[in-house]
Structure 1
């Protein structure tokens, strides 16, 4: 197990600008161009894509724009992601006390970190986080749309939906806590085939069916856990945006799918 007090950026200059001024300007532009989602009241959870900003940033911005009303309320973001580089069993918390981006340091919530360690299938290990982009690319967006917040970063490996849901449940909190799942959809299919596959996946998510397969979404494990938690809490999923890399910055021969999805209480509930 590796330890470090800070987790430095691994994909700055690759997935997003390394220069803080350029990064802030890009995110501001993406947020300004995001179409406001109608009647999204206080999303408790989001599913957000995690590709390079030129590919999925516009879709991600649609999710983050939905947090505008909670800027001064949200203080903790539980971020669950798949592991792209290091295979693990269960779930891994970092030992790091903070994650660094070009926009500054994002602290890890120490109370929640200690609580999460007590859960089955959760270990502390920096290795799955060291080069993982799926959490890192969300942080600059969060730094731009929230005031003061801490994170609970959880890398999800081979873990069943019930275990992931139990971790989400333990960290559910109140209005101060957002659950964020970092996931893309289908990978490397022709454009039209990807559209059909992703449409079917989103229909399954909207039905709160926790049987998403890895070929449907790279973050299938975290998504399935969130769907179980959403069922328990009677949350309603709403697709805010759906596109793929053929719509944004890539060719249409082999595309990656992206979606922004908000999970909220009934529309009658107001923000607190």
Structure 2
């Protein structure tokens, strides 16, 4: 068994050279801080952030991760869930490794978190689901830069019922030492104005914990989102939109765009940032 899952999309979704990558992530985070997205006194319990190439969605992702910076030294592990793009399968997949590699170094896979999921029928080790998957990998450099020294429980989510995802999240919920990161883009390949309308509607559904499930046409990470939202509501989290745009706003044509949002979820006892 490989002990480390090697980086698969360095050089395509984000820079492959460590110094260039660190500079880029620092720039995106500094820009988010300058935009005033870090007014909260404390940090969110969970964030939903996009996973496209940094040139497209990096600024929106950074607006979510900048909010976690206040948890540096307190946050010790990240439960990281994202959709399967490469390999179809049922359930949720762990990578079966001890660490995840990026050009910035290795991120340890949290053994206690993995052990907590042992025995759940919907969770299995499946290295092939992780091998070429970008949805989790693109989050790792942000986690490394913002939190430093944390471990992750990386789960690629395949065909799974919301209740199955929710059960996993409950097992990993923990206290202030644990944060949840849900990796998802929004709508794909609609004309600019149409995409903006679709994405605004999707965000409102998320912010209001609508009972109607998010569809995969609205968000590629609909499955982890639909599992997360009932748990967030049960734990009385309060969502705040901190970033919303699409590829037509950043680095792409407006003929067919991909949408991106960052949503932060705060506990009742924590101050939270407005949008």
TM-score between both structures, scaled by the size of structure 1: 0.96
Distance 1:148 1:51 in 2: 24
Spell out, residue by residue over 1:221-242, the C-alpha distance to the aligned partner (whole angstroms, 9 max, x if none). Answer: 1001110111110101111000
Aligned counterpart, 2:7:
9
Aligned counterpart, 2:234:
232
- 1:39 equivalent in alignment to 2:37: no
Question: Shift of the alpha carbon at 1:116?
Answer: 1.2
Contact 1:36 1:65 in 2 (8 A): no
**1:93-104 matches, cutoff 5 A:** 93-104=94-105
Q: SS of the counterpart of 1:155? A: strand
Aligned counterpart, 1:182:
183
Question: Shift of the alpha carbon at 1:118?
Answer: 1.9
**1:1-272 matches, cutoff 5 A:** 3-34=1-32, 35-37=35-37, 38-39=39-40, 41-210=42-211, 211-266=213-268, 268-269=269-270
Q: SS of the counterpart of 2:206? A: helix
Structure 2 portions without partners, runs of 5+: none
| CA root-mean-square deviation | 1.3
Spell out, residue by residue over 1:128-166, the C-alpha distance to the aligned partner (whole angstroms, 9 max, x if none). Answer: 000000000000011110121000001111101111011
Question: Shift of the alpha carbon at 1:269?
Answer: 3.0
Spell out, residue by residue over 1:74-97, the C-alpha distance to the aligned partner (whole angstroms, 9 max, x if none). Answer: 110000000000001011111111
Question: Shift of the alpha carbon at 1:39?
Answer: 3.4
Contact 2:43 2:69 in 1 (8 A): no
The runs of 4+ residues in structure 1 deviating greater than 6 Å are none
Q: SS of the counterpart of 1:257? A: strand
Aligned residues: 268
Distance 2:8 2:91 in 1: 23
Question: Shift of the alpha carbon at 1:40?
Answer: 6.5
Spell out, residue by residue over 1:152-201, the C-alpha distance to the aligned partner (whole angstroms, 9 max, x if none). Answer: 00111110111101100000011000100000000000000000000000
